[in-house]
Structure 1
Amino acid sequence: MKKYISFLILISVLVLAACGETSSTDGNKGDKNEPMKKEKAAEAKLLTNEEFEKMFSDPKKYKGSEVDFYAKIFVEPERDSDGTYLQAYANNNDERNIIIMIKDPDIDVAAEDVIHVKGIIKDVFKGENAFGGQITAPAVLADTIEKSDYQTAFSPAKETIDVNEEQNQHGYKLVVEKVELADQETRVYVKVLNESEDKISFYSFNTKLVANGKQYEEEMNYDANYPEVQSEILSGVGTEGIIAFPKLPDDLDTFQLYFEGSSDNYELDFEPFVFDIKK
């Protein structure tokens, strides 16, 4: 369950943490404290992936550490003149709730965006979520936030097979551009072009992947929000998207992709579009 946090508290936590970088508790002692600040900055280190995961169990222990991670924003950002404030979950895990501030009120991010964050753990938030549950979450002051995508962030390809093969039946063109093999899934990049005079149809759920005598069906990945090939395609129109299947065995050398298509011109006969894929 996503842990929504009051942004009134969130903003005060992060603004105070950010202001702490440049202000001291005693103006007359500012110069004396400066060497200490530089020393602490020099001690900051980038957390490894393993350390980053451990950090969520005890964020306070890692305060001041550098972080470099991917996350998905799950509520609309809040903004004021000091910056933008985000609630996200890291590493595609809704148990990894994290709070992020960046000193840029105009940064172009929104709910459901996947982002790449580099910054410093500035503080630890403790309080209640919108459902009354207790929550402890790291608060990160980001140096940079860049938009990314699900594939890059959470399911990187271990191997990419460039196919770039086109088949054409009656002006119905189907192109397999590439196949990505990842630890979690198999992604097929497909393009359909209608160069006929009639409307054509394509349904991704009719697609099959066949390997070693086993048939795989499309596997919807709702977290990824992949672009979908449109199901009804007008004359002169093209559409493209990603069709996801389960992970394939690592020792697999070849497999086949089967696609079905149809036209509003019922006098035309279509055979399945069959692609032989070799790693």
Structure 2
Amino acid sequence: MKTRESERKMRMGCKKLVCALLSCTMLCACTSTKSVEKQSNKKQYVKTDQFTSALIDSTDYKGKWIKIEGKVKLGPEVSGKQGYLVKYVPAQRRYFFFKTDKDLGYQPGDYVKVEGQIGKDTNLVNSSGNELSITTITHAKVSDGSYIDVEVPTYCTNKPKEPKQTIDGITMKVSKVEYADQETRVYVSIENNSDQPIYYDPNYTILQQDGTHINSDVLSSSYEKGNYPQLANAIEPHSKTSGIVVFSVISSEKDCDVIITLFTANLAGIDFTIHVNA
């Protein structure tokens, strides 16, 4: 009797163990399925270094999402189709088209940021009458871009540990230095809390790196194209001015000094130096 009772209890224990294992397996399978579904629903984005390839031939990128910036070429209607043709500036003669159901107010020359899904190419006719197949972005979310975003994008930003220097009631501040492949941008503000006007001359603004002096690029086209704010030449008592000063390309991996000389009414120079750490 004891043996039969023991066997019965053993069989019951085995059944419970099997049930527990089955429950665990089903739970794991369910969790795994949900995980796969979650991964499949996650948006896959085209990488920046793949943009040019996607604009040349979108075949391998259809269904993927993209965040891209460019300069409007045509719109809000192109070849009878509602949308905008946009130039991707880093690649010569490469364009994309994004669909819209209304006029977004952008004009040729405007800069835009676009996020959407790569869909079926759109056939557009160019000025020569030739039909071209253009990579097309659907479900597009569009926002304003800028000259800096598109034409001269920043690849590194350095900020000084001690951004301000004050001399005789005059404070100069360098908030940051932006490095691009085409130029270097220094963000400067000058506050005059003295009782006398002071004067700024861009020719007396330099960068110093590795013992070399680099003059500001007063003829840079970015001032006009990018509508960069510029420092006022005359700063009246108890007033402030701020702007961007453009220089040629320097290394973002080395320290530099921003050196600006301001002048009083009797042409006495006041030298300011802000050290910017790499």
Aligned counterpart, 2:57: 58
1:189 shift after superposition:
1.2
Q: Provide closer, same or farther for how the CA distance between residues 99 and 176 of structure 1 changes in structure 2, counting only shifts above 3 A.
A: same
Q: Provide closer, same or farther for how the CA distance between residues 155 and 235 of structure 1 changes in structure 2, counting only shifts above 3 A.
A: same
Structure with the higher fraction of residues in helix conformation = 2
Q: Is the 8 A contact 1:126 1:135 kept in 2?
A: yes
Counterpart CA distance in 2 for 1:251 and 1:186 is 13
Q: Provide closer, same or farther for how the CA distance between residues 158 and 104 of structure 1 changes in structure 2, counting only shifts above 3 A.
A: same
Q: Provide closer, same or farther for how the CA distance between residues 135 and 199 of structure 1 changes in structure 2, counting only shifts above 3 A.
A: farther
C-alpha RMSD of the superposition: 3.6
Q: TM-score scaled by structure 1?
A: 0.65
Alignment counterpart, residue 135 of structure 2, candidates 131, 138, 158: 138
Is the partner of 2:56 in helix, strand or coil?
coil
1:273 shift after superposition:
1.6
1:251 shift after superposition:
4.7
1:214 shift after superposition:
1.6
Is the partner of 1:207 in helix, strand or coil?
strand
| 1:85-137 Cα shifts (integer Å, max 9, x gaps) | 333222444522333233454x46555443321113343333223xx475733
Counterpart CA distance in 2 for 1:46 and 1:203 is 47
1:191 shift after superposition:
0.5
**Higher Rg of the two aligned structures:** 2
Q: Provide closer, same or farther for how the CA distance between residues 276 and 66 of structure 1 changes in structure 2, counting only shifts above 3 A.
A: closer
Q: Which amino acid aligns with 1:88?
A: V
Counterpart CA distance in 1 for 2:129 and 2:203 is 40
| 1:182-227 Cα shifts (integer Å, max 9, x gaps) | 4554321100223344443323343111111222232436254433
Is the partner of 1:52 in helix, strand or coil?
helix
Is the partner of 2:113 in helix, strand or coil?
strand
Aligned counterpart, 1:22: none
How many residues matched? 229
Is the partner of 1:56 in helix, strand or coil?
helix
Aligned counterpart, 2:272: 273
Q: Provide closer, same or farther for how the CA distance between residues 95 and 133 of structure 1 changes in structure 2, counting only shifts above 3 A.
A: farther
Q: Is the 8 A contact 2:160 2:275 kept in 1?
A: no
Counterpart CA distance in 1 for 2:66 and 2:200 is 44
Aligned-residue identity in percent: 20
Q: Please tell me whether residue 101 in structure 1 is matched to residue 99 in structure 2.
A: yes
Aligned counterpart, 1:261: 262
Q: Is the 8 A contact 1:120 1:142 kept in 2?
A: yes
Structure 1 unaligned spans of 5+: 1-40
Q: Provide closer, same or farther for how the CA distance between residues 192 and 71 of structure 1 changes in structure 2, counting only shifts above 3 A.
A: same
Is the partner of 1:275 in helix, strand or coil?
strand
Q: Is the 8 A contact 2:170 2:193 kept in 1?
A: yes
1:168 shift after superposition:
3.3
Q: Is the 8 A contact 1:59 1:124 kept in 2?
A: no
Aligned counterpart, 1:114: 111
Q: Which amino acid aligns with 2:202?
A: S
Counterpart CA distance in 1 for 2:130 and 2:106 is 27
Counterpart CA distance in 2 for 1:230 and 1:134 is 50
Structure 2 unaligned spans of 5+: 1-39
Q: Provide closer, same or farther for how the CA distance between residues 144 and 177 of structure 1 changes in structure 2, counting only shifts above 3 A.
A: same
Counterpart CA distance in 1 for 2:205 and 2:275 is 14
Aligned counterpart, 2:72: 73
Counterpart CA distance in 2 for 1:193 and 1:74 is 41
**1:87-98 alignment runs, 5 A limit:** 87-93=85-91, 95-98=93-96
